[in-house]
Amino acid sequence: MKMNPFIKIRRDLHQIPELGFKEFKTQSYLLEYIQSLSQDRLSIKKWKTGLLVKVNGLNPIQIIGYRTDIDGLPITEETGLPFSSEDDSRMHACGHDVHMSIALGILTHLVENPIDDDVLFIFQPAEEGPGGAEPMLRSAEMQDWMPDLIFALHIAPEYPVGTIAIKEGLLFANTSELFIDLKGKGGHAAYPHQTNDMVIAACTLVNQLQTVISRNVNPLDSAVITIGKITGGTVQNIIAEKARLEGTIRTLSPESMAKVKHRIEALVKGIETGFECETIIDYGCMYYQVYNSEPITKEFMEFIRHETDFELIECTEAMTGEDFGYMLKEIPGFMFWLGVDSPFGLHHSKLTPDEKSIDVAITVMTKFMSIKGKRV
């Protein structure tokens, strides 16, 4: 029995995950497939390691955008799949291989069945970091083909195949990375009074950071500060001169993000004084909230309910981050969760999305985009 071509594409891409702005093999694979299609209505531009592919419509009055991310994560795969990553240090652990195969399926359909409007497919690098959406949006290449509407999806391991989960308004949180470096004075473990111990300073700061959420954020609001990694010191009998905290901040509004950062900076300043040390704060990548435009999202929800056999779930907002938010900030549109029924969650080394979800998404989006892009 012949394999579904877009499942094969997903498996091919799954084997070659690459980190942000290093997606060279991925770009070549995508380009080779796209160039195998009829070129009569296709226009292609490269942007860094990404691609912009426009399917020219029959009688266009607008450009409909569809975005997929293309990068992987620095995770060692543990799925045991026969098509596992060829690189032990990288994995498509967030479903971007599934996202890309779906985008190619929609693109193929629209090349073979053109609609009236132009459709721009955005193969965006570096979603996982350092953030490709905002610079791609600002690029001359995309500015020339700026969509009037834009859509995207993200796999959801917790939902069964055949489920579309979405809501109007806020879907994903504002997010920011958080890196804090502390430098004091190291020394022999037997003479702590002659040092400024940065392991103690780091531990004190971690505890203080938890008070930002419990005592500075409105209990009816939501925010998260997670410190996922602490490093400090060299060996067991030397007091640490340096320590580093690495974490993430999540809030449901830009205003709360600013307030949380202001409080973090005050606490870090206090650590400087109390432990007589130097500190540096780096917020790394910052992603804007994913906010679904109400009218078009409501229209899509009605379409799922009445024009498909798939299940619609009106979900709640999540503390996940997605740099697609920068595009939705400028262009009306939406993102939705696609059920893929995996026992392991996003960014897990054993994530195994059900590949039947690929056809679900292709069916939903080709039909919806055909309705949006065709005039009576």
Q: What pLDDT, on the 0 to 100 scale, is given for residue 3?
A: 85
Q: Are residues 206 and 129 in the same domain?
A: no
Look at residue 206 in the predicted model and tell me its pLDDT. Answer: 98
164 has pLDDT over 70: yes
Q: For residue 213, give every residue at least 6 positions away whose Cβ sits within 8 Å of its Cβ, in sequence order, or none.
A: 223, 224, 225, 260
57 lies in the same domain as 150: yes
Residues 40 and 160 in one domain: yes
pLDDT higher than threshold 80 for residue 290 = yes
Let me know whether 312 and 209 are in one domain: no
- Domain stop point among 265, 286, 307: 286
Residues 14 and 147 in one domain: yes
Which residue among 77, 97, 118, 128 is the active-site one?
128
The answer to whether residues 92 and 75 touch, using CB atoms and an 8 Å cutoff, is no
Q: Which helix (H) or strand (E) holds 65?
A: strand 63-69
Confidence band of 376 (pLDDT split at 50, 70, 90): low
Residue range 109-132, pLDDT digits in tens: 999 999 999 999 999 999 999 999
The residue out of 237, 264, 286 marking a domain boundary is 286
Q: How many domains does the chain have?
A: 2
Read off the pLDDT band of 101 (50, 70, 90).
very high
- Copy the structure tokens of residue 91: 């994995």
Q: What is the pTM of this model?
A: 0.93
pLDDT score recorded for residue 2: 78
Q: How far apart are CA 16 and CA 183, in angstroms?
A: 39
pLDDT tens digits, one per residue of 49-85: 999 999 999 999 999 999 999 999 999 999 999 999 9
Q: Is 69 a catalytic residue?
A: yes
Choose, from 23, 69, 127, 341, the residue flagged as catalytic: 69
pLDDT digits (tens, 9 = 90+) for 169-217: 999 999 999 999 999 999 999 999 999 999 999 999 999 999 999 999 9
Give the pLDDT of residue 34: 98
Residues 195 and 48 in one domain: no
Is the domain of 42 the same as that of 146? yes
Q: Is 311 a catalytic residue?
A: no
d(CA 192, CA 233): 14
Do 129 and 218 fall within a single domain? no
Domain that holds residue 259: 174-286
